[in-house]
Amino acid sequence: MPKKRPEIPPLKRLQFRKTLSMPSLLKNVFAHFNNIEEHRTKKPTYPLSETLMTGLAIFGLKYPSLLAFDNDREEQRIRHNLQSLYGIKKAPSDTSLREVLDEVTPESLRPATVGLIQECQKQGVLENYRFLGGYLCSIDGTGQYSSQHISCPDCCEKKHRDGSIEYYHQLLASVLVHPDKKQVLPLFSEAIKKKDGQTKNDCERNAAKRLLPAIKKGFPRLKLIVLEDALAANAPHLKTLEDNGMSYIIRVKYGSNKSLIDHAIKCMSAGETEEFEETGDDSIIRGYRFINSLPLTKASPEQRVNYLEYWEVNKNGKNKNFSWISDITLSRDNVHDVMRAGRSRWKVENETFNTLKNLGYHFEHNYGHGKKHLTTVFATLMMLAFLIDQIQEVSCTVFRAARHRYHSKTSFWGKLKGLFTEHYIEDWKTCYLAIIYDHKSTTLQVDYPDTS
């Protein structure tokens, strides 16, 4: 049974805020794009900021390919709407879009993300993401694009048994999450490069050495608690986190953290761990066992971590077990929250990668490979488009009312793109209100060529 859709709020409540609504979010990003240094020496036909905005519009409108966009872009309605909604006077062809964006460094786009997050902070939106006295930042890697035929210097390579080579791109992404919220707020992403190593573990650890200092520099005052999977539970990575002033809650598993868990079991037998169980209003039994300051490994006994084991049993007797390490000192008062924070790590997979791959954003499509940065620039622009959508979901009543006219995200994006391609639209508010209240349409008329 599909869920009942929420009622449409009265028209007088459907007002855009001065900030954090689509026009102001795009204006914010445009201002940052304007600050990016032009790499071309000749005066370009299309300014860099508008070329970047075109990329953002393609991902914002969820075009499945650049070619699909290129087929549309010369149509009068599209040109009009790109100008009225995105401030783009003239959109470049798909070929020149690729050529120009290939030369842009992905790092130069980061101030646009900082600008949006700062605005969220100013407007009190970020405060709602506060948890355990900081902000939970879930980090994980994901595959972005792969090919047996084309490659660039940053491509990772996988050699197959038949001798063929697969080239692929991967991204290490960081997103702010909250256990009670479906929306995530992506911070920066870092491309995993060929030189980062051969194993998933090396790749992510080395890319994190670039990502974490960048986050620290971009958001120096955000107290971050990093959430990661068991691959990150190693001494060098904990040191990188510590060097960047970040706290952590990281999953551990017996396979990869044997000596730590054996040590914890010994402590339990000796009665040195603390443990308790409680039954919630939802009839779920939740159990916690914890101990502070255990050595992470035998090889690095100076690296001390706090260790939490958690189990739950539901009404039907089904069990779940998890363990984490953290630098947060554990007590009876905070282990429930540490557990909830630790379990919200999956939001980087489910609410982020899954949404980008399966709910309209076409994350794994090949929009163009380029010779330098193109793949990563496209991924960064897509993450930026996703951040804008997430901020609208959190903070814009007009966007939310429009979104809730559709059960699925994919249908909503389909409607938005349909309006964009088939109608002249003056502004974003008209666009969203037309989705909310439906729209009058005139009979289709042919714009015959002038033969006089």
Contact positions vs Zn ion (CB under 5 A): 152, 155
**Contact (CB, 8 A) for 131 and 337:** yes
Q: Long-range pairs for 204-209 at CB < 8 Å and ≥24 separation?
A: 204/141, 204/172, 204/231, 204/232, 205/231, 205/232, 205/234, 205/236, 205/237, 205/240, 207/141, 207/172, 208/139, 208/172, 208/232, 208/237, 208/240, 209/240
Please identify, using beta-carbon distances, which residue of 155 and 227 lies nearer to Zn ion. Answer: 155
Nearest-approach distance from CB 245 to Zn ion, in angstroms: 33
Nearest-approach distance from CB 237 to Zn ion, in angstroms: 25
Tell me the C-alpha distance between 184 and 416, whole Å: 22
Tell me the C-alpha distance between 232 and 216, whole Å: 18
In this structure, what token pair is assigned to residue 443? 């009979």
Bridge partner list, 258:
none
| Angle, helix 48-60 to helix 94-102, in steps of 10 degrees | 110
Please identify, using beta-carbon distances, which residue of 170 and 395 lies nearer to Zn ion. Answer: 170
Please identify, using beta-carbon distances, which residue of 144 and 247 lies nearer to Zn ion. Answer: 144
Please identify, using beta-carbon distances, which residue of 121 and 146 lies nearer to Zn ion. Answer: 146
Nearest-approach distance from CB 152 to Zn ion, in angstroms: 3
Nearest-approach distance from CB 156 to Zn ion, in angstroms: 8
Nearest-approach distance from CB 154 to Zn ion, in angstroms: 5
Nearest-approach distance from CB 371 to Zn ion, in angstroms: 9
Tell me the C-alpha distance between 322 and 253, whole Å: 8
Please identify, using beta-carbon distances, which residue of 152 and 434 lies nearer to Zn ion. Answer: 152
Nearest-approach distance from CB 145 to Zn ion, in angstroms: 8
List all residues 6 or more positions away from 213 whose beta carbon is below 8 Å from its beta carbon.
244
Please identify, using beta-carbon distances, which residue of 338 and 377 lies nearer to Zn ion. Answer: 377
Please identify, using beta-carbon distances, which residue of 14 and 155 lies nearer to Zn ion. Answer: 155
Residue type, 9: P
Among residues 403, 283, 344, 365, the alpha carbon closest in space to that of 62 is found at 365
Among residues 301, 302, 309, the alpha carbon closest in space to that of 326 is found at 309
